[in-house]
Amino acid sequence: MSERRFIPPHGNYRELLSYRKAVVVYDLTVGFCRRFLRQGDRTTGQMVQAARSGKGNVRETRSNHLKASPDTTYKTYRTYPLPPAPPCRKPPRPLRYSLGMEEPPFAFAEPDYPLGPLTRYRVGGPARWALLPRTMEEARAAYAWMAAQRTGGAPMRRLVLGGGSNVLISDRGIDGAVLVTTALDGIEALGNDRYRVECGAELGDLVQDVMLPNNYDGVGGLTGIPGTVGGAIYMNAGTVNGTTCQWLESVEVAGDGGSRTVTMDASCYGYRGQSFCPPGSLILQGVFRFRAAKADQRAVYEHYMQRRREKQPQGYCCGSVFKNPPGDHAGRLLEACGLKGTRRGGAVISPVHANFIMNEGGAAFDDILGLIRLCQTTVKQQCGVDLECEVIVLD
């Protein structure tokens, strides 16, 4: 049986991924899975039958093809082979669970759920419990349960995980509960250039399905950024051309005291961060208000996608590891210190762009974290600059 790349909570996918011919393009695995779950189990059943017969591979389709019926979509996708997932260089250390955590009272709860396949690094051990809500109501209930849990008198460790594009998770996993948002992917048009977007929607889908068809301004700031809208809001993801939060009108956040709606203004966010959602809280959804652009945004999109293909490495990584220090660029400092190409285990500082650390095969958590610490120490010693991590490290 082939190694499973990810483990969605539906039986047909569990069976499908056990076949050697079942392959999915890396960049669209999560979005692909989520979209077909919304189409219903009939399409995934067709894929299972194809795998059983040995006649077909799991296939990938862009979002615009999914507007057709499941039957039509099944016949029109294109096949892309998935590069082999990096093998584990060494088995993860066993996670010793703490006592006192009750079993979640939800049908969408999964025990000992592997987190590595849900991250861009493909690194990380299991969560004691994964909660995989499919609706906003389930997400609110799941988060309320997480917030109420105590282990040893202290709040239970909890994590919200979207596209996994900006996290590095320990091989020991998470002794607690992880709420996975990828099934919460609704996008609703409200009129007057306003859209309600759930936290699990892919940021790339917001660009391709909403911004480009309406020629909205801001495409240059959000093009090519991986991950979900919830994660993009939390990190205020963007580029020199703009950020996610600048287009937000309001955002719903769940915390220890329940959910609340925050009206957005410029004081609520800054460079790669915001002040309305503390660590451990959950961004449920946001209302975006866009404006029409004068220039052709399709051309802007193609320009920045081409630049990313030329300037950034492709493969298993979290994107930029460090925030840019004021008045400088982390990649330039790292390259000036001669760190490009430095390896540790299966991890390497990319020869293409020094602010990217790649998992080139079997990298462990300690390999990647070791390179992060090496970068920070070297830049501090040689340049006198403290590099702050953009990636969230969960040890």
Residue written as token pair 């068809």: 213
Backbone angles phi, psi at 142, to 5 degrees: -65, -45
Per the annotation, the verdict on 289 as an active-site residue is: no
Structure tokens at 190: 């409200």
Q: Is 390 a catalytic residue?
A: yes
**The tokens of 93 are what?**
């250390």
Phi, psi of 193 (to 5 degrees): 65, 25
CA 141 to CA 177: how far, in whole Å?
13
Report yes or no: 31 and 18 within 8 Å, Cβ to Cβ.
Answer: no
* Active-site option among 165, 170, 281, 320: 320
For helices 29-39 and 41-53, the axis angle rounded to 10 degrees is 120
Kindly report the length of the chain.
Answer: 395
Amino acid at 333: L
Annotated active-site residue in 194, 196, 272, 308: 272
Give CA torsion, residues 247, 324, 278, 126, to 10 deg. 110
Q: Quick check: 253 and 283 in contact, CB under 8 A? A: yes
Q: Let me know if 320 is a catalytic residue.
A: yes
Helix or strand (DSSP H, E) at 32:
helix 29-39
Specify the residue for token string 């979900």: 228
Neighbours of 322 (CB within 10 A): 24
What's the distance, Cα to Cα, between the start and end of the chain in Å?
31
Sequence-distant (6+) residues with CB within 8 A of 191 are none
Reported as type and span, the H/E element at residue 151 is: strand 150-151
Please list the active-site residues: 272, 320, 390
